[in-house]
Amino acid sequence: MTTIGVLALQGAVREHLRAVKACGATGVEVKRKEQLAEIDGLILPGGESTTIRRLIDSYGFSDAIQAFGKQGKPIFGTCAGMILMATAIQGQNQPHLGLIDMEVARNAFGRQVASFEANLEINGIADDFKAVFIRAPYATKVGADVTILSTYHEQIVTVQQGNFLATAFHPELTDDNRMIGYFVEMVEHAIGTNSSFREPNKI
Ligand SMILES: NC(=O)CC[C@H](N)C(=O)O
């Protein structure tokens, strides 16, 4: 059985566990870095990126998550998780985990539209995905190795770079499990149990 961990320091943990289970994988709450050895893929949930970062540091997760990614194990960051994965954050000197070659802007859709839903076309994954954005970031720049999987009003909201995936929205908050299902397939591919998996093309 494919085992997917959800970093359970702060944020939308339970909803991700539900979605992972609905996709046929086993979901576990990850609270200690030693648990990374027991999982095949990791989700960094939405919440508050600065709070999650502080807890990542207090529990000594930073190097362990970076090493997990270097081993080729898939990591999926949603909303605050996307901010954690970026190599650059607008207005900040230092990134957090620096896993995906992109710059992000926090709370990028503005205060007036703090939370909204949008129907997204996500390349190779869904052409009508109801995406829930909550004080969401977007990517302002991506490197040449990053595949853009969806945009909203020309802003980059879904990206993949090899075994790393990120969305600016919360894919776990509706019962449409296709985005998390895609991540489960990435993980199955990484452990060799899904030979039909193909990465979508760039848009
Ligand atoms: N829903 C979310 O994860 C919001 C992210 C939050 N704005 C941050 O900067 O961390």
DSSP per residue, 12-64? SHHHHHHHHHHTTSEEEEE-SGGGGGG-SEEEE-SS-HHHHHHHHHHTT-HHH
- Compute the distance between CA of residue 54 and CA of residue 195 in angstroms, rounded to an integer: 38
Site to substitute for ligand 1 among 106, 138, 157, most atoms within 8 A of C-beta: 106
Per-residue pLDDT of 78-137, as tens digits, reads 999 999 999 999 999 999 999 999 999 999 998 666 899 999 999 999 999 999 999 999
Q: What is the pTM of this model?
A: 0.96
For residue 10, report the distance from its CA to the centre of ligand 1, in Å. 11
Contacts of 110 (CB under 8 A, 6+ apart): none
Largest CA distance in the chain: 45
Residue 79 annotated as catalytic: yes
Pocket lining for ligand 1, CB < 6 angstroms = 46-49, 79-80, 83, 106-107, 134-135
Helix (H) or strand (E) holding 167: strand 164-167
Query: Measured from the CA of 48, which atom of ligand 1 is nearest?
Result: 10
Ligand 1 binding pocket mutation candidate from 104, 135, 138 (most atoms within 8 A of CB): 135
pLDDT of residue 112: 60
* Interatomic CA distance for residues 103 and 127, integer angstroms: 26
A 10 A CB-CB count for 101 gives 18
- Contact (Cβ atoms closer than 8 angstroms) between residue 129 and residue 119: yes
CATH class of 3-190: alpha beta
Whether 195 has a binding-site annotation, put simply, is no
CA distance 27 to 5: 6
Residue 47 is labelled as binding a ligand: yes
Domain coordinates in residue numbering, the chain: 3-190
Active site residue 172: yes
Alpha-helix residue ranges (DSSP H) falling in the chain = 13-22, 49-58, 62-70, 80-85, 178-190
**For 39-60, how does the pLDDT look when each residue is reduced to its tens digit (9 = 90+)?**
999 999 999 999 999 999 999 9
The pLDDT tens digits of the residues spanning 73-92 come to 999 999 999 999 999 999 99
Rounded to whole angstroms, the Cα distance separating 199 from 201 reads: 7
Whole-complex ipTM: 0.95
Ligand 1: centre distance to CA 180 (Å) = 19
Q: Which two tokens stand for residue 122?
A: 């996500």
